[in-house]
């Protein structure tokens, strides 16, 4: 959640098939939901808030957090396909659109063609 919405910054605007709020620790997910913490756009890496389940630019300065590699890995392992790790999830062609912005440089240790 949300799905298939573009980045709210006009100079980015790239479509994000899945914002993967699930890749934040639970406590951070609640903070994001309460508008106490911003997600980052996986393309331009700027802060994004959720308003009525849509990504918006924060109106006030707010802390932003990057998605957790560890939480994302656990998410991949819980999928019906039972991926052994996040990289296997990223290389599954069925996931290509959803994972596109996260495959190259989102985390320093991940660079998947």
Give the tens place of pLDDT for each residue, 3-47.
899 999 999 999 999 999 999 999 999 999 999 999 999 999 999
The residue to which tokens 């106490």 are assigned: 36
Domain boundaries, the chain: 1-113
Per-residue model confidence (pLDDT) at position 2: 73
Span 42-91, pLDDT tens digits: 999 999 999 988 999 999 999 999 999 999 999 999 999 999 999 999 99
Burial of 69 (0-12, 13-18, 19+ CB in 10 A): middle
> Comparing C-alpha atoms, which of 7, 38, 6, 8 is closest to residue 21?
38
């Amino acid at each position: 959640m949300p799905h298939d919405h573009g980045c709210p910054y006009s100079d980015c605007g790239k479509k994000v098939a899945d914002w993967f709020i699930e890749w934040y620790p639970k406590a951070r997910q609640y903070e994001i939901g309460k508008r106490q913490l911003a997600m980052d756009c996986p393309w331009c890496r700027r802060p994004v808030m959720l308003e009525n389940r849509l990504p918006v630019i924060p109106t006030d300065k707010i802390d932003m957090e990057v998605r957790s590699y560890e939480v994302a890995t656990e998410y991949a392992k819980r999928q019906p396909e039972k991926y052994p790790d996040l990289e296997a999830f990223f290389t599954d062609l069925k996931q290509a659109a959803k994972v596109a912005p996260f495959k190259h440089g989102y985390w320093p240790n991940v660079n998947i063609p």
